Structure 1
Amino acid sequence: MAATSETLTAERILEATEEVLRRHGPAKATVVDVARALGVSHGSVYRHFRTKAALREAVTKRWLDRTSETLSAIVAEDRAPAARLRDWLLALFTAKRRKAGDDPELFATYMVLTAENGAAVGEHVADLTGQLTRIVEAGTADGTFAAADPAATAAAVFHATGRFHDPCYAQDWEAPGVEAEFDAVVALVLRGLRP
Protein backbone atom coordinates (compact mmCIF):
# COMPACT_ATOMS: atom_id res chain seq x y z
CA MET A 1 0.00 0.00 0.00
CA ALA A 2 1.45 3.36 -0.98
CA ALA A 3 1.72 6.03 1.66
CA THR A 4 0.24 9.44 1.13
CA SER A 5 1.79 12.65 2.35
CA GLU A 6 -0.99 12.85 4.98
CA THR A 7 -0.08 9.45 6.47
CA LEU A 8 3.65 9.77 6.06
CA THR A 9 5.28 10.22 9.46
CA ALA A 10 8.87 10.62 10.53
CA GLU A 11 8.64 7.26 12.30
CA ARG A 12 7.50 5.49 9.11
CA ILE A 13 10.32 7.12 7.20
CA LEU A 14 12.85 5.99 9.81
CA GLU A 15 11.51 2.41 9.70
CA ALA A 16 11.78 2.40 5.90
CA THR A 17 15.26 3.92 6.08
CA GLU A 18 16.42 1.16 8.39
CA GLU A 19 15.10 -1.45 5.98
CA VAL A 20 16.75 0.26 3.00
CA LEU A 21 20.03 0.43 4.92
CA ARG A 22 19.74 -3.26 5.76
CA ARG A 23 19.18 -4.08 2.08
CA HIS A 24 21.62 -1.72 0.38
CA GLY A 25 24.15 -0.71 3.04
CA PRO A 26 25.10 2.86 3.94
CA ALA A 27 27.18 3.51 0.83
CA LYS A 28 24.39 2.71 -1.63
CA ALA A 29 21.20 3.64 0.26
CA THR A 30 19.61 6.84 -1.02
CA VAL A 31 16.66 9.01 -0.12
CA VAL A 32 15.11 7.94 -3.43
CA ASP A 33 15.33 4.30 -2.25
CA VAL A 34 13.57 5.25 0.98
CA ALA A 35 10.86 7.13 -0.90
CA ARG A 36 10.40 4.21 -3.30
CA ALA A 37 10.03 1.81 -0.36
CA LEU A 38 7.30 4.06 1.04
CA GLY A 39 5.59 4.65 -2.30
CA VAL A 40 6.08 8.42 -2.13
CA SER A 41 8.23 11.02 -3.87
CA HIS A 42 11.64 11.81 -2.44
CA GLY A 43 10.33 15.35 -1.87
CA SER A 44 7.87 13.90 0.67
CA VAL A 45 10.78 12.43 2.61
CA TYR A 46 12.64 15.74 2.44
CA ARG A 47 9.64 17.50 4.01
CA HIS A 48 10.36 15.50 7.17
CA PHE A 49 14.16 15.40 6.93
CA ARG A 50 15.76 18.38 5.17
CA THR A 51 18.86 16.49 4.02
CA LYS A 52 20.13 12.95 3.56
CA ALA A 53 22.54 13.63 6.42
CA ALA A 54 19.65 14.65 8.70
CA LEU A 55 17.82 11.43 7.82
CA ARG A 56 20.89 9.33 8.52
CA GLU A 57 21.45 11.13 11.83
CA ALA A 58 17.81 10.60 12.86
CA VAL A 59 17.90 6.89 12.06
CA THR A 60 21.18 6.57 14.00
CA LYS A 61 19.68 8.39 17.00
CA ARG A 62 16.60 6.16 16.87
CA TRP A 63 18.82 3.06 16.89
CA LEU A 64 20.86 4.33 19.85
CA ASP A 65 17.76 5.49 21.75
CA ARG A 66 16.35 1.96 21.83
CA THR A 67 19.15 0.99 24.20
CA SER A 68 18.76 4.12 26.33
CA GLU A 69 15.03 3.54 26.79
CA THR A 70 15.56 -0.02 28.02
CA LEU A 71 18.18 1.11 30.50
CA SER A 72 16.18 4.05 31.83
CA ALA A 73 13.60 1.63 33.24
CA ILE A 74 16.31 0.06 35.41
CA VAL A 75 17.42 3.48 36.66
CA ALA A 76 13.84 4.28 37.73
CA GLU A 77 13.37 1.08 39.74
CA ASP A 78 13.06 1.28 43.51
CA ARG A 79 15.77 -1.24 44.34
CA ALA A 80 19.19 -1.32 45.92
CA PRO A 81 21.62 0.83 43.89
CA ALA A 82 24.25 -1.94 43.68
CA ALA A 83 21.69 -4.33 42.15
CA ARG A 84 20.49 -1.64 39.76
CA LEU A 85 24.05 -0.83 38.71
CA ARG A 86 24.83 -4.48 38.02
CA ASP A 87 21.55 -4.99 36.15
CA TRP A 88 22.07 -1.78 34.15
CA LEU A 89 25.55 -2.85 33.05
CA LEU A 90 24.27 -6.33 32.18
CA ALA A 91 21.34 -4.89 30.20
CA LEU A 92 23.72 -2.62 28.29
CA PHE A 93 26.04 -5.54 27.48
CA THR A 94 23.08 -7.73 26.49
CA ALA A 95 21.57 -5.04 24.25
CA LYS A 96 24.85 -4.39 22.47
CA ARG A 97 25.53 -8.11 22.01
CA ARG A 98 22.04 -8.63 20.62
CA LYS A 99 22.44 -5.77 18.14
CA ALA A 100 25.77 -7.13 16.95
CA GLY A 101 24.77 -10.81 16.88
CA ASP A 102 21.17 -10.76 15.67
CA ASP A 103 21.73 -8.62 12.59
CA PRO A 104 25.46 -8.27 11.86
CA GLU A 105 24.90 -6.51 8.53
CA LEU A 106 22.71 -3.84 10.10
CA PHE A 107 25.15 -3.53 13.02
CA ALA A 108 27.99 -2.93 10.54
CA THR A 109 25.83 -0.35 8.79
CA TYR A 110 25.21 1.47 12.05
CA MET A 111 28.92 1.45 12.84
CA VAL A 112 29.39 3.47 9.64
CA LEU A 113 26.50 5.78 10.53
CA THR A 114 27.66 6.37 14.10
CA ALA A 115 31.10 7.32 12.77
CA GLU A 116 29.34 9.93 10.59
CA ASN A 117 27.11 11.20 13.39
CA GLY A 118 29.35 12.14 16.27
CA ALA A 119 26.68 14.42 17.76
CA ALA A 120 24.18 11.57 18.05
CA VAL A 121 26.81 9.32 19.60
CA GLY A 122 27.88 12.06 22.01
CA GLU A 123 24.27 12.58 23.11
CA HIS A 124 23.87 8.82 23.55
CA VAL A 125 26.98 8.54 25.73
CA ALA A 126 25.88 11.58 27.74
CA ASP A 127 22.48 9.98 28.29
CA LEU A 128 24.04 6.69 29.38
CA THR A 129 26.50 8.33 31.77
CA GLY A 130 23.65 10.48 33.08
CA GLN A 131 21.70 7.33 33.86
CA LEU A 132 24.73 5.86 35.62
CA THR A 133 25.15 9.09 37.56
CA ARG A 134 21.61 8.77 38.94
CA ILE A 135 22.35 5.24 40.14
CA VAL A 136 25.64 6.33 41.74
CA GLU A 137 23.90 9.30 43.39
CA ALA A 138 21.29 6.95 44.87
CA GLY A 139 24.04 4.68 46.16
CA THR A 140 25.95 7.59 47.63
CA ALA A 141 22.80 8.90 49.31
CA ASP A 142 22.04 5.58 51.01
CA GLY A 143 25.68 4.86 51.93
CA THR A 144 26.14 1.93 49.53
CA PHE A 145 28.71 3.80 47.44
CA ALA A 146 31.45 6.26 48.31
CA ALA A 147 31.61 8.79 45.48
CA ALA A 148 32.66 12.37 46.09
CA ASP A 149 31.70 13.22 42.51
CA PRO A 150 28.93 10.90 41.24
CA ALA A 151 29.20 12.17 37.65
CA ALA A 152 32.96 11.52 37.50
CA THR A 153 32.45 8.14 39.14
CA ALA A 154 29.72 7.24 36.63
CA ALA A 155 32.00 8.21 33.74
CA ALA A 156 34.75 6.05 35.22
CA VAL A 157 32.38 3.08 35.54
CA PHE A 158 31.27 3.58 31.95
CA HIS A 159 34.85 3.63 30.69
CA ALA A 160 35.96 0.75 32.92
CA THR A 161 33.26 -1.48 31.43
CA GLY A 162 33.78 -0.32 27.84
CA ARG A 163 34.90 -3.75 26.65
CA PHE A 164 31.33 -4.92 27.18
CA HIS A 165 29.51 -2.12 25.37
CA ASP A 166 31.87 -0.22 23.08
CA PRO A 167 31.18 -1.50 19.53
CA CYS A 168 34.91 -1.64 18.76
CA TYR A 169 34.96 -4.77 20.97
CA ALA A 170 31.99 -6.46 19.27
CA GLN A 171 34.16 -9.26 17.90
CA ASP A 172 34.94 -10.28 21.51
CA TRP A 173 31.35 -10.41 22.77
CA GLU A 174 30.74 -14.03 21.80
CA ALA A 175 34.17 -15.31 22.86
CA PRO A 176 34.21 -18.20 25.34
CA GLY A 177 34.36 -16.92 28.89
CA VAL A 178 33.20 -13.37 28.13
CA GLU A 179 30.33 -13.63 30.63
CA ALA A 180 32.75 -14.62 33.40
CA GLU A 181 35.01 -11.72 32.43
CA PHE A 182 32.02 -9.37 32.56
CA ASP A 183 31.04 -10.69 36.01
CA ALA A 184 34.61 -10.21 37.28
CA VAL A 185 34.81 -6.62 36.04
CA VAL A 186 31.40 -5.70 37.49
CA ALA A 187 32.31 -7.32 40.84
CA LEU A 188 35.53 -5.30 40.87
CA VAL A 189 33.67 -2.08 40.08
CA LEU A 190 31.11 -2.72 42.82
CA ARG A 191 33.86 -3.47 45.36
CA GLY A 192 35.63 -0.27 44.36
CA LEU A 193 32.50 1.79 44.97
CA ARG A 194 32.01 0.60 48.54
CA PRO A 195 32.76 3.05 51.34
Structure 2
Amino acid sequence: MAATETLTAERILEATEEVLRRYGPAKATVVDVARVLGVSHGSVYRHFRTKAALREAVTHRWLSRTETALAELTSATGRPAPERLHAWFAGLFEAKRHKAGDDPELFATYGVLIDESSGVVEEHVEVLVGQVRAIVEDGVRSGEFTAPEPDATARALFSATAHFHDPAYAEEWRKNTVEAEFDALVGLLLRGLRA
Protein backbone atom coordinates (compact mmCIF):
# COMPACT_ATOMS: atom_id res chain seq x y z
CA MET A 1 0.00 0.00 0.00
CA ALA A 2 1.41 3.39 -0.93
CA ALA A 3 1.92 5.77 1.97
CA THR A 4 -0.57 8.22 0.47
CA GLU A 5 -3.41 5.68 0.28
CA THR A 6 -5.86 5.62 3.15
CA LEU A 7 -6.50 2.30 4.81
CA THR A 8 -10.24 1.67 4.61
CA ALA A 9 -12.43 -1.24 5.59
CA GLU A 10 -13.13 -1.86 1.89
CA ARG A 11 -9.41 -2.11 1.06
CA ILE A 12 -8.92 -4.49 3.97
CA LEU A 13 -11.78 -6.67 2.73
CA GLU A 14 -10.32 -6.74 -0.80
CA ALA A 15 -6.94 -7.78 0.60
CA THR A 16 -8.59 -10.40 2.81
CA GLU A 17 -10.28 -11.90 -0.23
CA GLU A 18 -6.91 -12.09 -1.97
CA VAL A 19 -5.30 -13.74 1.07
CA LEU A 20 -8.16 -16.22 1.42
CA ARG A 21 -7.86 -17.11 -2.26
CA ARG A 22 -4.12 -17.64 -1.89
CA TYR A 23 -3.93 -19.49 1.44
CA GLY A 24 -7.43 -20.77 2.17
CA PRO A 25 -9.37 -20.15 5.37
CA ALA A 26 -7.31 -22.51 7.54
CA LYS A 27 -3.98 -20.77 6.88
CA ALA A 28 -4.99 -17.15 6.17
CA THR A 29 -4.08 -14.77 9.00
CA VAL A 30 -4.58 -11.13 9.81
CA VAL A 31 -0.80 -10.74 9.54
CA ASP A 32 -1.03 -11.98 5.93
CA VAL A 33 -3.73 -9.40 5.20
CA ALA A 34 -1.62 -6.64 6.78
CA ARG A 35 1.42 -7.74 4.74
CA VAL A 36 -0.56 -7.47 1.48
CA LEU A 37 -1.61 -3.96 2.50
CA GLY A 38 1.85 -2.95 3.70
CA VAL A 39 0.61 -2.06 7.19
CA SER A 40 0.88 -3.53 10.68
CA HIS A 41 -1.68 -6.07 11.80
CA GLY A 42 -2.71 -3.55 14.46
CA SER A 43 -3.92 -1.26 11.66
CA VAL A 44 -6.20 -4.01 10.42
CA TYR A 45 -7.47 -4.61 13.96
CA ARG A 46 -8.44 -0.93 14.24
CA HIS A 47 -11.06 -1.61 11.55
CA PHE A 48 -11.97 -5.18 12.53
CA ARG A 49 -11.52 -5.98 16.22
CA THR A 50 -11.06 -9.73 15.74
CA LYS A 51 -10.14 -12.22 13.04
CA ALA A 52 -13.69 -13.57 13.30
CA ALA A 53 -15.14 -10.09 12.69
CA LEU A 54 -12.94 -9.70 9.61
CA ARG A 55 -13.98 -13.09 8.25
CA GLU A 56 -17.63 -12.30 8.91
CA ALA A 57 -17.34 -8.94 7.14
CA VAL A 58 -15.70 -10.46 4.08
CA THR A 59 -18.42 -13.14 3.95
CA HIS A 60 -21.12 -10.46 4.23
CA ARG A 61 -19.49 -8.47 1.42
CA TRP A 62 -19.36 -11.54 -0.81
CA LEU A 63 -23.03 -12.41 -0.23
CA SER A 64 -24.15 -8.78 -0.59
CA ARG A 65 -22.97 -8.67 -4.20
CA THR A 66 -25.72 -11.10 -5.14
CA GLU A 67 -28.32 -9.18 -3.12
CA THR A 68 -27.44 -5.95 -4.89
CA ALA A 69 -27.63 -7.47 -8.36
CA LEU A 70 -31.01 -9.06 -7.62
CA ALA A 71 -32.42 -5.87 -6.09
CA GLU A 72 -32.58 -4.38 -9.59
CA LEU A 73 -34.85 -7.22 -10.72
CA THR A 74 -36.98 -6.84 -7.62
CA SER A 75 -37.57 -3.16 -8.27
CA ALA A 76 -38.28 -3.49 -12.02
CA THR A 77 -42.00 -2.97 -11.43
CA GLY A 78 -42.70 -2.18 -15.10
CA ARG A 79 -42.35 -5.88 -15.96
CA PRO A 80 -45.02 -8.50 -15.24
CA ALA A 81 -44.53 -10.24 -11.91
CA PRO A 82 -44.18 -13.77 -13.39
CA GLU A 83 -41.44 -12.53 -15.74
CA ARG A 84 -39.67 -10.73 -12.88
CA LEU A 85 -39.86 -13.75 -10.60
CA HIS A 86 -38.44 -16.03 -13.29
CA ALA A 87 -35.69 -13.51 -14.01
CA TRP A 88 -34.94 -13.16 -10.29
CA PHE A 89 -34.48 -16.90 -9.76
CA ALA A 90 -32.49 -17.15 -13.00
CA GLY A 91 -30.29 -14.28 -11.79
CA LEU A 92 -29.74 -15.97 -8.43
CA PHE A 93 -28.88 -19.28 -10.09
CA GLU A 94 -26.49 -17.60 -12.53
CA ALA A 95 -24.78 -15.61 -9.77
CA LYS A 96 -24.23 -18.70 -7.64
CA ARG A 97 -23.08 -20.74 -10.63
CA HIS A 98 -20.58 -18.07 -11.62
CA LYS A 99 -19.21 -17.86 -8.11
CA ALA A 100 -18.72 -21.63 -8.05
CA GLY A 101 -17.27 -21.89 -11.56
CA ASP A 102 -15.25 -18.70 -12.00
CA ASP A 103 -13.32 -18.85 -8.75
CA PRO A 104 -13.62 -22.35 -7.26
CA GLU A 105 -10.92 -21.75 -4.64
CA LEU A 106 -12.67 -18.70 -3.25
CA PHE A 107 -16.05 -20.44 -3.50
CA ALA A 108 -14.72 -23.34 -1.40
CA THR A 109 -13.23 -20.86 1.05
CA TYR A 110 -16.56 -19.12 1.45
CA GLY A 111 -18.18 -22.48 2.06
CA VAL A 112 -16.01 -22.75 5.18
CA LEU A 113 -16.57 -19.14 6.20
CA ILE A 114 -20.31 -19.43 5.75
CA ASP A 115 -20.36 -22.35 8.16
CA GLU A 116 -18.61 -20.08 10.70
CA SER A 117 -20.89 -17.10 10.03
CA SER A 118 -24.39 -18.49 10.30
CA GLY A 119 -25.80 -15.10 11.33
CA VAL A 120 -24.50 -13.55 8.12
CA VAL A 121 -26.04 -16.36 6.09
CA GLU A 122 -29.37 -16.04 7.87
CA GLU A 123 -29.41 -12.30 7.13
CA HIS A 124 -28.56 -13.01 3.49
CA VAL A 125 -31.39 -15.52 3.17
CA GLU A 126 -33.81 -13.05 4.77
CA VAL A 127 -32.83 -10.35 2.26
CA LEU A 128 -33.32 -12.76 -0.64
CA VAL A 129 -36.66 -14.04 0.68
CA GLY A 130 -37.73 -10.41 1.16
CA GLN A 131 -36.96 -9.71 -2.49
CA VAL A 132 -39.04 -12.71 -3.58
CA ARG A 133 -41.85 -11.60 -1.26
CA ALA A 134 -41.85 -8.12 -2.85
CA ILE A 135 -42.31 -9.62 -6.31
CA VAL A 136 -45.04 -11.98 -5.06
CA GLU A 137 -46.86 -9.08 -3.37
CA ASP A 138 -46.67 -7.05 -6.61
CA GLY A 139 -48.10 -10.04 -8.48
CA VAL A 140 -50.96 -10.37 -6.00
CA ARG A 141 -51.74 -6.63 -6.26
CA SER A 142 -51.76 -6.79 -10.07
CA GLY A 143 -53.93 -9.92 -10.09
CA GLU A 144 -51.21 -12.06 -11.69
CA PHE A 145 -50.64 -14.27 -8.63
CA THR A 146 -52.79 -15.87 -5.98
CA ALA A 147 -50.88 -16.02 -2.71
CA PRO A 148 -52.91 -15.45 0.46
CA GLU A 149 -49.71 -15.40 2.53
CA PRO A 150 -46.94 -13.75 0.48
CA ASP A 151 -44.26 -14.33 3.13
CA ALA A 152 -45.01 -18.06 3.39
CA THR A 153 -45.18 -18.25 -0.40
CA ALA A 154 -41.82 -16.51 -0.80
CA ARG A 155 -40.19 -18.87 1.69
CA ALA A 156 -41.71 -21.89 -0.06
CA LEU A 157 -40.48 -20.67 -3.45
CA PHE A 158 -37.00 -20.07 -2.08
CA SER A 159 -36.91 -23.54 -0.50
CA ALA A 160 -38.29 -25.22 -3.60
CA THR A 161 -35.51 -23.74 -5.74
CA ALA A 162 -32.67 -24.48 -3.28
CA HIS A 163 -31.20 -27.01 -5.71
CA PHE A 164 -30.29 -24.05 -7.93
CA HIS A 165 -28.79 -21.69 -5.37
CA ASP A 166 -27.67 -23.62 -2.29
CA PRO A 167 -23.88 -24.14 -2.51
CA ALA A 168 -24.37 -27.74 -1.34
CA TYR A 169 -25.57 -28.51 -4.88
CA ALA A 170 -22.74 -26.70 -6.72
CA GLU A 171 -21.32 -29.87 -8.26
CA GLU A 172 -24.66 -30.56 -9.95
CA TRP A 173 -24.76 -27.13 -11.58
CA ARG A 174 -22.33 -28.38 -14.23
CA LYS A 175 -24.71 -30.99 -15.63
CA ASN A 176 -25.84 -30.50 -19.24
CA THR A 177 -29.47 -30.77 -18.17
CA VAL A 178 -29.37 -28.29 -15.30
CA GLU A 179 -30.84 -25.34 -17.23
CA ALA A 180 -33.75 -27.43 -18.50
CA GLU A 181 -34.33 -28.69 -14.95
CA PHE A 182 -34.28 -25.11 -13.66
CA ASP A 183 -36.76 -23.91 -16.29
CA ALA A 184 -39.08 -26.86 -15.64
CA LEU A 185 -39.14 -26.22 -11.89
CA VAL A 186 -39.59 -22.45 -12.09
CA GLY A 187 -42.26 -22.89 -14.78
CA LEU A 188 -44.15 -25.29 -12.51
CA LEU A 189 -43.92 -22.89 -9.57
CA LEU A 190 -45.13 -19.95 -11.66
CA ARG A 191 -48.10 -21.95 -12.97
CA GLY A 192 -49.01 -22.73 -9.38
CA LEU A 193 -48.97 -19.03 -8.48
CA ARG A 194 -51.09 -17.79 -11.36
CA ALA A 195 -54.38 -16.23 -10.38
* Class of the TM-score when normalised by the shorter of the 2 chains: over 0.9
For 1:121 and 1:3, how far apart are their aligned partners in 2? 36
- Are the aligned partners of 1:3 and 1:40 in contact in 2 as well (CA < 8 Å)? no
1:57 match: 56
1:18 match: 17
Q: C-alpha displacement at 1:2, in angstroms? A: 3.4
For 2:2 and 2:109, how far apart are their aligned partners in 1? 27
Q: Does 1:191 align with 2:167?
A: no
Please show how residues 5-84 of structure 1 align to structure 2 within 5 Å: 7-77=6-76, 78-84=78-84
- What is the letter of the counterpart of residue 15 of structure 2? A
- Are the aligned partners of 1:133 and 1:154 in contact in 2 as well (CA < 8 Å)? yes
Q: C-alpha displacement at 1:176, in angstroms? A: 1.4
For 1:103 and 1:161, how far apart are their aligned partners in 2? 23
TM-score (norm 1): 0.98
For 2:176 and 2:74, how far apart are their aligned partners in 1? 30
Q: C-alpha displacement at 1:63, in angstroms? A: 0.2
- What is the letter of the counterpart of residue 185 of structure 1? L
- Are the aligned partners of 1:56 and 1:113 in contact in 2 as well (CA < 8 Å)? yes
Q: CA RMSD in A?
A: 0.9
Q: C-alpha displacement at 1:57, in angstroms? A: 0.1
For 2:138 and 2:131, how far apart are their aligned partners in 1? 11
2:136 match: 136
2:89 match: 89
Spell out structure 1 runs of 4+ moving beyond 2 A. 1-4
For 2:182 and 2:3, how far apart are their aligned partners in 1? 46
Q: C-alpha displacement at 1:3, in angstroms? A: 4.9
1:151 match: 151
Identity, in percent, stands at 67
C-alpha change, 1:3 and 1:127, in structure 2 (3 Å) is: farther
TM-score (norm 2): 0.98
Q: C-alpha displacement at 1:194, in angstroms? A: 1.1
Partner-residue secondary structure (3-state), 2:174:
coil
- What is the letter of the counterpart of residue 37 of structure 1? V
